[in-house]
Chain A
Amino acid sequence: MGLRSYIITRVLLTIPMILLLLSIVFLVVRVMPGDPVALHFERRASEESMNEMRSRLGLDKPLHIQYFEYLVGLLNGDFGRSMQDYSPVGEQIFSAFPATLELAIFSVFIAITAGILLGVRASRLYNSLQDHCIRAFGIIAYAIPVFFLGMVFQLIFAVELGWLPTGLRTRPTMEPYGLTLNLNYPAGGLVPILLWALPAGLICCVLCFIVLKRRNIKFWPKGFLFCLPAFLAGWIVWTFASWHFMSVGVLHISTGLFTIDSLLEGNVVKFVEALKGLCLPSLTLGIVLSGVFIRLTRNNMLETLRVDYVTAARARGLRERTVVYGYALRNAFLPILTMMGLQFATLLGGAILTETTFSWPGLGRYLVSRINYRDYTAIQGAVVYFGLIVALVNLVVDIFYAYLDPRIRL
């Protein structure tokens, strides 16, 4: 089977799976004992107001019609309306999602980096003290409730030491603001900044001069023609850069990922702020996830390091690092990739708890806050959205896997 036909089959197989998943969620919320509307009011409202809500949300129709409307709505990107204020759930979910995505990306990055580095180290030093320590770390990381680790981190780094914020994505100085121009001028106006940027221009000039000298080009007159533009370019570029650098005001939201947004703006201060906010939550989630990756990398590397081609590579006199990372890890990476797909579901589960711990305004926090309001339509919407993301990620991982390992396509 070619890659294309594999992709088509895989996509076609995903459709019944998603349909089934949607039905499960529908069954859980609508059919299981407990009427959502009655639960929402905790049986304290009059029958009329409950009926009114039912008719406004379409919950009074027969089940099969509700099911049909639910599926058609989802196809149109309509996740229903919230029981709390009848606002569209879809919009709230979409606006909360980038925060979760950013957290997920950073924590997966941390988990995989830590997992691979530590796992490779443990497998190379098999049965040594370091190996045992790394394994112990992996097992403990797996057994820690993610929110407990988050609380401990908050207590140490935010409450006691005060190095990092306790959570929240933004600082008071950096209110996110959608689609407006950044009109915050740096303190002091343009002149100090021009002066401040002068050394940068001079450095550019000197660098240019050194390069010219190496090439044996005389400074006057030809070299000057290069040095002057270099000086001006350095000065002007640094002026504009530091304009951004010193201004801390609204953050333009374009992607919704604050680190990317601040980089798009070219503002280092905002980027650092965004990173500081991300630091503790992603570290928490990353450490908890890294346990699985450590174990997996270690076990796979232990097997791969014994294979003949690794011995052959060693015999040819390649450096140990090349052998381990270039030969063995490459082939041990496939199971890690599969695990990445599977762990994505765990990641989202962990993200719910991490977001709640760090007041991170993502999808998980949204879901938890809706639980407290007993807003069942919103809960259903968020759960469906989580399921769709996981199905999509698994699809992508499978296709990538098939691309890397042609045996899968058979």
Chain B
Amino acid sequence: MSRSKTKRPLLAGFLPGLASLTKRGSAGWMILIGAIIVSSIIIMTLISPWITPSDPTATPPTIDNPLRSPPSWEFPMGTNKLGQDMLSRVLSGGAVMLQVAVLSVFLCFLLGVPISLLASYTGGIFEKVCSLIMDSLYAFPGLVLAIAIAAMMGRGVINMAISIAVVYVPSYFRLVRSQVLTIKELPYTEAAKATGAKGRTILLRYILPNVVPSIVVVATVNFADAILTAAGLTFVGLGVGIDVPDWGWDLTKGFELLPSGAWWVITFPGIMIVLLALGFTLIGEGLNEMLNPRLEQ
């Protein structure tokens, strides 16, 4: 790989790059806002051990920690049923969601891209079988399948990530396949074939680089879906565990307090999930618009 020799230093190019996004219309703004939301949530989660005002998993409650108290100066986001400080839980609760999302997108990538590249490039019976399996999986309600797999595999971040990854592999497969089928017929691929390039070279050097942009778009949108699915899995009782601060878990527990009108227990974790999913959706939408500028006329 000798193409990327003239690479700018990463950070030096990154910030001006972000700033120049605003010159590219609404798509640029969407990416910028999404990136700001996502990165600030990631930073917040990373530094949470040092900034949480109290222990997010503190049990049993003490006199200092009243049970289910509304927001006050001492507890800006109130406390939950166990008297744990909601602010601390919100600050540190993103870890599970982010881990599950990153892991599942990574697994999707690892599973989906090679299989789909190979299948759609080689064609034949392998492609037919893969397509059939992927189409059946794609048509299946995602959350239902994730629930079935997660119910069998039990709790845990990795199990959650696997069950989500299985659900979203088909969307990679379909996308990559449709792209490869187009690129395969393009003149430059034909030319490469004519010069006697090997199948592997064509696949890795000619097809893959052209598929990557759309994979990135799908992956970003996939992040949002993975987060929402993870929250859903947690809500139906297939989440990570009990003592880990997690927005999905807090939301689920807060749901039990709903009839008493304890709005603060669900509102803040819920908004954090919405923000995280929103950030990734915005990035995905913006990238999509930028890469497919059909409508920019």
A residues with a Cβ closer than 8 A to B are 16-18, 20-21, 24-25, 28-29, 32-34, 36, 39, 132, 139-140, 142-148, 151-152, 154-155, 159-160, 166, 299, 302-303, 306, 345-346, 348-350, 352-353, 356-357, 367-368, 371-372, 374, 376, 379-380, 382-383, 386-387, 390-391, 394
> Which chain A residue shows the least CB distance to B295?
A302
Tell me, in angstroms, the Cα distance from A374 to B274 when the chains sit together: 30
Closest to B255 in A: A151
Interchain CB contact under 8 A, B140 and A387:
yes
Instruction: Please name all residues of chain A whose beta carbon is closer than 8 Å to the beta carbon of B263 when the two chains form the complex.
Output: 155
* Pairwise interchain contact A386-B136, C-beta atoms closer than 8 A: no
Which residue of the partner chain B has the closest CB to A159? B261
B141 beta carbon closer than 8 Å to chain A? yes
Partner-A contacts on B (CB < 8 A): 26, 132-133, 135-137, 139-145, 147-149, 151-154, 224, 228, 231-232, 235-238, 251, 254-255, 258-259, 261, 263, 266-267, 270, 273-274, 277-278, 281-282, 285, 294-295, 297
Which residue of A has the minimal Cβ distance to B297?
A306
Q: What is the CA–CA distance of A29 and B254 in the complex, to the nearest angstrom?
A: 31
Closest 9 CB pairs of A and B: A349-B143, A143-B277, A143-B278, A148-B270, A345-B141, A348-B141, A20-B136, A349-B141, A386-B144
Q: How far is the CB of A150 from chain B (nearest CB, A)?
A: 9
Is B251 touching A16 in the complex (CB atoms < 8 A)?
Answer: no
Whether the pair A28, B148 counts as a contact (CB closer than 8 A) is yes
Give which listed residue, A39, A147, A390, contacts B232 with CB less than 8 A.
Answer: A147
State whether A394 and B139 are in contact (beta carbons under 8 Å apart), knowing that A353-B232, A380-B148 are contacts in the complex.
yes
- Known contacts A34-B154, A368-B237: does B132 contact A143 (CB below 8 Å)? no
Contact (Cβ within 8 A) A353 B143: yes
Quick check: A387 and B278 within 8 Å, CB to CB? no
Ordered by A's residue number, 28 sampled pairs between the chains whose C-beta atoms are within 8 Å are A17-B139, A18-B136, A28-B149, A32-B149, A39-B154, A142-B277, A143-B274, A143-B277, A145-B232, A145-B235, A145-B273, A147-B251, A148-B273, A148-B274, A151-B270, A152-B266, A152-B270, A155-B266, A303-B294, A303-B295, A345-B142, A348-B141, A349-B141, A349-B232, A374-B151, A376-B151, A386-B140, A391-B139
Closest A residue, CB atoms, query B269: A148
Instruction: For B236, give its contact among A25, A166, A352, A387 (CB under 8 Å).
Output: A352
What chain B residues lie within 8 Å of A16 (beta carbons)? 132
Determine the chain A residues whose CB is within 8 A of the CB of B270 once the complex forms: 145, 148, 151-152
- Which residues of B lie under 8 Å from residue A39 when comparing CB positions? 152, 154
- Given contacts A34-B153, A148-B273, A151-B270, A353 and B139 within 8 Å (CB-CB): no
B137, B147, B273, most chain A CB atoms within 10 A: B147
In the complex, besides A24-B145, A155-B258, A155-B263, 4 extra interface pairs with C-beta distance below 8 angstroms are A28-B148, A32-B153, A348-B144, A353-B235
- Contact pick for B274, options A32, A140, A306, A371, CB 8 Å: A140
A384 to chain B minimum Cβ distance, whole angstroms, is 10
Q: A33-B153, A151-B251, A390-B140 are in contact. Are A143 and B224 (CB under 8 A)?
A: yes
Q: Of A132, A154, A299, A382, which contacts B295 at CB under 8 A?
A: A299
* Most B Cβ at <10 Å: residue of A36, A306, A353: A353
Taking a contact as CB atoms under 8 Å apart, the answer to whether A352 and B147 are in contact is: yes
Evaluate contact between A345 and B140: CB separation under 8 angstroms: yes
Which residues of chain A are within 8 angstroms of B267 by Cβ–Cβ distance? Answer: 152
B residues near A17, Cβ cutoff 8 Å: 132, 135-136, 139
